[in-house]
Amino acid sequence: MTRHYGFTPKGEAEPRFANQFIRVEETPVVRPDGEDGFFTTVTPGTGNGVVVIPRTFIRGLPYFALVSQHRPPIGGQSLEFPRGATKDLDSVSAAREVVEEVGCEVNGEPLRIGTIHPDTGLLTTTVATYLAACTTTEDAVFLDQDSYREESSGAIHHWVNGGTLQGLISRGQITCGFTIAAWAQLVATGRNISAL
C-alpha cells in the first residue's frame, strides 16, 4: 500500500477575495515536511462546468463542432469545444451549451464520457465531459461555417473531421486545455470514430 503525504489543515479556510464570478481562499496547513504554510484555492462561479463534444455524421463520417471566440485572458481567439459553468454536471446543461454555442439540435441525451479537474493544484473546479449527437446539414458543415454566431460571446462554430481536429491540436492551433482533455477522453473511449 502506498503511503500518502498530504497537507493537514490547521484551521478554517479564510476568504481573500470574492465576487459573483470567483472566490479565492487560503487555508492554514501543516505541509508534508512538517512546516507551517498556506494552501490557496480558487473556485470559479459554481465550481462546476461541462465541456461538450458535438458530433454529427455526414456521408458516414464523423464531424466535430468547435467554436472560435475571443478569450481575454490569452489576448486572442481560442478554438475550443463548447463549454460553460453549471450548478449541476448534467446532460441538460451539456445540451444547452451546444444549442447556445453551435446553434444545432441535439439528438437524445448527451453521453457523459469523463470528468476533468483542470488544475488540481489550485482550482476546485469539476467539469463533466459529454459527447452530444447533433443534427445539422451538409451545407452547415461544408459551406456555412460562419452562419451561426452566439449572441453573447460572439462565438462562431466550425465543423471539422477527426483528422483535422488532431492536426489542429498537434500544430498548437488548439491550446484550450478543456478541449485537449475532452478529445483525449473521447479517443480513449474509441467513440471518436464510432456512433454513440
Q: Is residue 178 part of a domain?
A: yes
Domain assignment of residue 195, yes or no: no
Q: Is residue 73 domain-shared with residue 24, that is, in the same domain?
A: no
pLDDT of residue 150: 64
67 in the same domain as 15: no
Distance (Å, whole) CA 74 – CA 77: 8
Residue 183 lies in a domain: yes
Q: Is residue 31 part of a domain?
A: yes
Which spans in 21-172 are helix H? 91-102, 138-142, 162-170
Secondary structure of residue 63 in the 3-state scheme: strand
Give the pLDDT of residue 6: 80
Q: Is residue 2 part of a domain?
A: no
In a domain, 196, yes or no: no
Same domain assignment for residues 18 and 81: no
Cell of 133: 449527437
Instruction: Give residue 28's domain range.
Output: 8-44
109 & 16 share domain: no
Which amino acid appears at position 103 of this protein? G
| pLDDT string in tens for the chain (196-residue length) | 555 568 888 999 899 999 988 899 999 999 888 899 988 888 888 789 999 999 999 999 999 999 999 888 888 999 999 999 998 999 999 999 999 999 889 999 999 999 999 999 889 999 999 999 998 877 777 766 656 666 666 778 899 999 999 999 999 999 999 999 999 999 999 887 766 5
Residues 108 and 179 in one domain: yes
Residue 58 near residue 143, CB atoms below 8 Å: no
- Per the structure, the count of domains in the chain is 2
159 shares a domain with 84: yes
